[in-house]
Copies of this chain bind each other. A is one copy, B any other.
Amino acid sequence: MTSRIGTSLPDQVARMEKADVARRSRYRMKDTHITLSHGSGGKASHHLIEGLLIPILANPVLDGLGDSAIISPNGNGSGRLAFTTDTYVVSPLFFPGGDIGCLAVHGTLNDLAMSGARPLCLSVGLILEEGLLVEVLERVTQSIADAARSAGVAIVTGDTKVVERGKADQLFVNTSGIGLVPDGADLLPERIQTGDRVLISGTVADHGMAVMLAREALDMEADISSDTAALHELVDTVLAAAPNTRMFRDPTRGGVATSLNEIAGRAACCIRVDEDAVPVKPAVRGACELLGIDPLHIANEGKLLAVIPAAEAHAALAAMHGHELGRDAAIIGEVVPEPVGMVVLNTGIGGSRVLDMLVGDPLPRIC
């Protein structure tokens, strides 16, 4: 949670607005080669998606860019389904608090849950590297099965491919999922209004730091473990307490900062965040400071952001606190009219700064 002092807020805002206008004027990707930062979930990922993939694949549903697509198989708006896909390349495969298997199940369930959908079923696509220990595959498959079962969701279809040694990294997993969107559910950034509150369901940066420390085999890992969890029940709990909830988002790659920037952009509003209100575990904060990275840029895999009308925000917070996965929930910010499309952080030391999306990728292959 570094804070940049020395550049005035209006200056920063002016610079960002200019950049944003440039981006929106049909950005075309200029890079000639893919780099790791294109997979970060941050700015380079956005350039790849908005500058290359979306223009080529464009259609109205895809342009929505939500965590999952909402489709209407009957064409009449009833019986809507949410559909989502995610590929997992996390390294190492096993880390404190989880592994690639349960992560792949939770991640896809959460993408469905963020649109208010009840998860219905999942597919699993595996890419295996020649020479992989069958024992490792067995552990990961068991973890997939356990995570799906405890979420009450069936794995209904699958596919397995094998590539030569050195053409993959042990094991990659794709999970796609279908959920049922309840009639009337309409969770979208476009519904956000000035004065709405922004809530986070718990401490940030746990997953990213757990994977990072497991990878580097640093000693401090003992106190830090991934928050990977399925959030669909927490979503139900919040919706029961705050039926006018505007939207949910799970701040995975790119962290809370990237998700809030995406929301502010879609909603054409500004989000002010109170840095001191953001819950961070002391061990995680310590590790972030040591490594010089902002916990707001680090991936979470069992947390949600919720934008909720002020009148219902405290009821939602109480509901989160009553749920196992929301014990450390907090109201961390508020929606204000401008500067449009930006996230402004009220820093611990009394100043404020623009909080940008993740640039570069301090932690590749976090999910």
Contact = CB atoms under 8 A, between A and B. Distances in A.
A138 B51 CA distance: 11
A38 B180 CA distance: 35
A131 B34 CA distance: 5
A25 interface: no
Contacts of A167: 89, 168-169
A79 to B, nearest CB: 6
A130 B85 contact: no
Interface string A236-252: 00000000000000000
A36 B130 contact: yes
Nearest to A174: B174
Nearest to A72: B120
A88 B123 CA distance: 15
Given A35-B162, A135-B32, A154-B61, A125 B69 contact: no
Nearest to A121: B71
> A142, A156, A157, A162: which has the most chain B beta carbons within 10 Å?
A157
Nearest to A85: B123
Given A32-B133, A125-B85, A127-B89, A69 B157 contact: yes
A141 interface: yes
A162 B38 contact: yes
A145 interface: yes
Interface stretch (A52-60, A277-285, A302-310): A52-60
A53 B158 CA distance: 9
19 contacts: A34-B131, A34-B134, A34-B137, A37-B162, A38-B128, A48-B160, A52-B134, A52-B137, A52-B138, A57-B158, A59-B154, A59-B155, A73-B79, A81-B81, A83-B156, A84-B157, A85-B174, A125-B125, A163-B169
Closest 10 CB pairs of A and B: A39-B162, A85-B123, A176-B176, A69-B156, A174-B174, A69-B157, A167-B169, A87-B125, A34-B132, A61-B156
